[in-house]
Structure 1
Amino acid sequence: MLELSWPWFLVLLPLPLIMYFLPKAKPKGDGIWWGNSAQLLHHQDHQAMPKRPTLPYACLLAAWVLLIFAMSQPVWFGEPTKVTPSGRDLLIALDLSGSMQVSDMVLNDQPANRLEAAKSVLSDFIQERRGDRIGIIVFGSKAYLQAPLSFDTKTINQLVQEAQIGFAGEQTAIGDAIGLGIKRLEDKPSDKKVLILMTDGANTAGRVQPQQAAVFAASQNVKVHTVGIGADSMIVQSFFGPKAINPSSDLDENLLKNIAAQTGGEYFRAKSTEDLQAIYQTLDALEPTPDEDIWQRPLTSLFHWLGLGSMVFLALSLVASRQLSFRKRGQA
């Protein structure tokens, strides 16, 4: 669809016709002197010939029309396209310490370790996020950026699946993971910075204390949701037979609760794969993606094309006038 931004320029279109029909200037003297009879006969022949539009005048007229339309700023509206609005900058910090290999979860009716369950639930969560930039931090003895913030959820999901226990060391540096998340989220809109921290233990490594990192996260408006992973009870075989133990005895729930409370986030306890799925459904509600897509129509300005066309016709009129002048000189 074509639309003119400044349509009032079109009132100038008939200006050449108005100038054409204006009364011609008359000579002040009553007599016209001719040097010889040949010039008089030549003048009479031209007066007798009917006036027809010539090529130079036609080119000038075309140049004027294109110039006026260019000045009216024509814009072509393309077909509407759907654009997903920008959502949140969301970082997921995943614990890869040695304790994540404890098989106290069930996945597809089969025993699974904590990391396998976490990756399975994370995969669905990541694929359902639209309009969010998602990044992955992995941490053990140290914290590393596995994937920077990106809209490419397919690649992010692949990198999550490639993470393995021990990649970042055997211990748990919760404070370093939060600190790295704050660094990667700096200079982002303050109401859209979210870090989801998943761990099954306590802070046993790192240079930054978790409580200090939480205070700094709050000052930077980074909301931290914490997820404690691990079952409360597990049957293991011992020398004296089956024995029930608590595989999550090392989980520092008080620390995770304090981090979440300090930053305006929520603490969640995941004792099973089903708990993890429910937690991420809750996180979807707490940190919703944009509800509605935005429809936009691409705009293409035609000003430069019409302006270029006007210049071309103006050049053609000058060339045609010059050729006509040479032809008349040759005939004379």
Structure 2
Amino acid sequence: MRFANSLFLLLLLCIPLLVKFLRDRRHTQQATLRLSNVSQLRAALPSGWSKIYRLLPALRIAALILLILALARPQSNNGDETITTEGIDIILTLDVSGSMQAEDFTPNRLEAAKKVAADFIRGRKNDRIGLVVFAGHSVTQAPLTLDYEVVLGLLKQVQLGMLQEDGTAIGMAIANSVNRLRNSEAKSKVIILLTDGVNNKGEIDPLTAANLAKSMHQRIYTIGAGTDHPFITEENPFFGKQRRQIDADLDEKTLKQMAEMTGGAYFHATDEKSLAQIYEQIEQLEKSKIGVKQYKEYVELFHYFAYAALGLLCVELVLGATRFRKTP
């Protein structure tokens, strides 16, 4: 707990002086009516009530202390630290070409990429997320939105063969992603491209698309997925399921150039664990680039102290006006 207006706590230093003043006043105060024998008066007032009567000044002092504490605005930290990033717009650009069925990731590259991307989306708080998928051409699966459940639902629908034309149109995918961010007013605009191949389809070259992103102040983080000797499982009409090795044609050189020219970074993922770590690194890189504001949320508690003080004053007033009423 903390006090937002802690200077008011200095008023508590006056409490001992007030106690001394009330005590001295009680001892020096002269009675207005003198009686030769007060034993009958004492018998008329039960001993329990006489003890309570002596506590009335204490109720007043306790109420005063509570009011001072209320003025100091006590606050409780709810334990949550909120991180606000000045707004990041992120397009996840995901390769869904046939080679993404390679099983060097579990169960395959695409499903592993979807799982890690889903975890990344769930970790967002103030960032808008969009989703672009590509194979031989590119489509927008989800526009920029803060509704993460919608994006997660659309990501779940992503699957191999969802685009009729196979291939790897990296340039077209980047151009589509750039267009999705074109009207963004966010302080940071980011494209996270994940692919396992080389650009072999589409009318736009990857470096041309990256240069377009650079001109619009958009950063590209590229992720190359896969190992050197990947296998895929295929259904053979005569022998059933057969594993077949495929070529690893990841174009790391171009992916690095795309990232460097836009102020991003290139990463290589060989399994699901390393892929998750890459997304964490990208998140930290973005925070360091745009700056992060951190603040703690506090809950006001002053009203509890004020209500308690009011309650004590009411008790003191009621007792003073009834059971302990003074006669002139």
Q: Same fold (TM over 0.5)?
A: yes
Q: Which amino acid aligns with 2:64?
A: W
Q: In the alignment, which residue of structure 2 is the partner of 1:138?
A: 132
1:165 maps to 2:160: yes
TM (normalized to structure 1)?
A: 0.55
Q: Does the aligned pair in 2 maintain the 1:202–1:252 contact within 8 Å?
A: no
1:60 maps to 2:50: no
Rounded Cα–Cα distance in structure 2 between residues aligned with 1:311 and 1:287:
55
Rounded Cα–Cα distance in structure 1 between residues aligned with 2:13 and 2:37:
34
Return closer, same or farther for 1:233/1:117 CA change in 2, 3 Å cut-off.
closer
1:218 maps to 2:217: no
Structure 1 SS opposite 2:132: strand
Q: Does the aligned pair in 2 maintain the 1:257–1:267 contact within 8 Å?
A: yes
Q: In the alignment, which residue of structure 1 is the partner of 2:33?
A: 43
Q: In the alignment, which residue of structure 2 is the partner of 1:195?
A: 192
Q: Does the aligned pair in 2 maintain the 1:121–1:276 contact within 8 Å?
A: no
Q: In the alignment, which residue of structure 1 is the partner of 2:93?
A: 93
Alpha-carbon shift at residue 10 of structure 1 (Å): 1.4
Q: In the alignment, which residue of structure 2 is the partner of 1:11?
A: 13
Note the alpha carbon deviations across 1:98-155, whole angstroms, 9 max, x for none: xx1258834479xx9xxx4233255357658996679561324422228956889xx9
Structure 2 SS opposite 1:66: helix
CA RMSD of aligned residues (A): 5.7
* Alignment partner of 1:118 out of 93, 110, 114: 110
Structure 1 SS opposite 2:67: helix
TM (normalized to structure 2)?
A: 0.55
**Larger radius of gyration, structure 1 or 2?**
1
Q: Which amino acid aligns with 2:192?
A: L
Q: Which amino acid aligns with 1:64?
A: L
Alpha-carbon shift at residue 260 of structure 1 (Å): 2.6
Q: In the alignment, which residue of structure 1 is the partner of 2:238?
A: none
Alpha-carbon shift at residue 94 of structure 1 (Å): 0.8
Structure 2 SS opposite 1:43: coil
Rounded Cα–Cα distance in structure 1 between residues aligned with 2:266 and 2:301:
56
Mark the runs of 5 or more structure 1 residues left unpaired by the alignment.
27-39, 235-245, 291-295
Rounded Cα–Cα distance in structure 2 between residues aligned with 1:10 and 1:147:
55
Q: Which amino acid aligns with 1:225?
A: Y
Count of aligned pairs: 279
Q: In the alignment, which residue of structure 1 is the partner of 2:306?
A: 307
Note the alpha carbon deviations across 1:154-190, whole angstroms, 9 max, x for none: x95x864541235456374324432255359751457
Rounded Cα–Cα distance in structure 2 between residues aligned with 1:47 and 1:67:
42
Alpha-carbon shift at residue 14 of structure 1 (Å): 2.6
Q: Does the aligned pair in 2 maintain the 1:84–1:130 contact within 8 Å?
A: no
Identify the range of structure 1 (1-10 vs 12-21) with the bigger mean alpha-carbon deviation. Answer: 1-10
Alpha-carbon shift at residue 73 of structure 1 (Å): 4.3
Q: Does the aligned pair in 2 maintain the 1:228–1:253 contact within 8 Å?
A: yes
Identify the range of structure 1 (173-182 vs 123-132) with the bigger mean alpha-carbon deviation. Answer: 123-132
Q: Does the aligned pair in 2 maintain the 1:69–1:306 contact within 8 Å?
A: yes
Note the alpha carbon deviations across 1:3-43, whole angstroms, 9 max, x for none: 894442211213433433259999xxxxxxxxxxxxx9x83
Rounded Cα–Cα distance in structure 1 between residues aligned with 2:260 and 2:270:
21
Note the alpha carbon deviations across 1:169-226, whole angstroms, 9 max, x for none: 6374324432255359751457xx4522436444527xx9866653453355432133
Q: Superposed, which structure 2 residues align to 1:66-85 within 5 Å?
A: 66-75=66-75
Structure 1 SS opposite 2:202: coil
Rounded Cα–Cα distance in structure 2 between residues aligned with 1:257 and 1:69:
60
Q: Does the aligned pair in 2 maintain the 1:92–1:195 contact within 8 Å?
A: yes
Q: In the alignment, which residue of structure 2 is the partner of 1:242?
A: none
Note the alpha carbon deviations across 1:34-61, whole angstroms, 9 max, x for none: xxxxxx9x83349978998467645433
Q: Superposed, which structure 2 residues align to 1:148-163 within 5 Å?
A: 156=152, 160=155, 162-163=157-158
Q: Does the aligned pair in 2 maintain the 1:10–1:72 contact within 8 Å?
A: no
Note the alpha carbon deviations across 1:55-113, whole angstroms, 9 max, x for none: 764543332232233344445567xx6869679876431133xxx1258834479xx9x
Alpha-carbon shift at residue 283 of structure 1 (Å): 3.7
1:287 maps to 2:282: yes
